[in-house]
Amino acid sequence: MPIAITEGDAQMKCPICGNGMEQGFLQTAGQRVAWMKRIHKVFLRPKTGEIMLENNTFKAVSFTAHICKLCKKIVVDYSDKEVQEG
């Protein structure tokens, strides 16, 4: 994956569109899955700037993902999900 260095920070570029990617955390709580800017308790609704990827207590959660075992990176595709943005 291309990396662009800016002011001492490495910013990952999206391998699909080339835009800069934002660093955060993929966090779970039961059957809730959310991308967050910082680690904190997963709530029912996402905070500003966060994305609730799955919020279902009655079924298993899965995402399409691609892994590079050499780089130890995983890219998760959530284009087929109905997400809630905060």
Counting the structural domains of the chain, the total is 1
In a domain, 39, yes or no: yes
In a domain, 18, yes or no: no
What is the torsional sign of CA 53, 59, 63, 67?
positive
43-75 pLDDT per residue, tens: 778 888 888 888 887 777 888 888 888 888 888
Whether residue 76 contacts residue 36, with contact meaning beta carbons closer than 8 Å, is answered with: no
User: Averaged over 17-43, what is the pLDDT?
Assistant: 85
In a domain, 35, yes or no: yes
Domain range for 68 is 23-85
Match 């967050």 to its residue by tokens: 36
In a domain, 14, yes or no: no
In a domain, 1, yes or no: no
In a domain, 3, yes or no: no
Whether residue 84 contacts residue 46, with contact meaning beta carbons closer than 8 Å, is answered with: yes
Which pLDDT score is estimated for 4?
46
In a domain, 7, yes or no: no
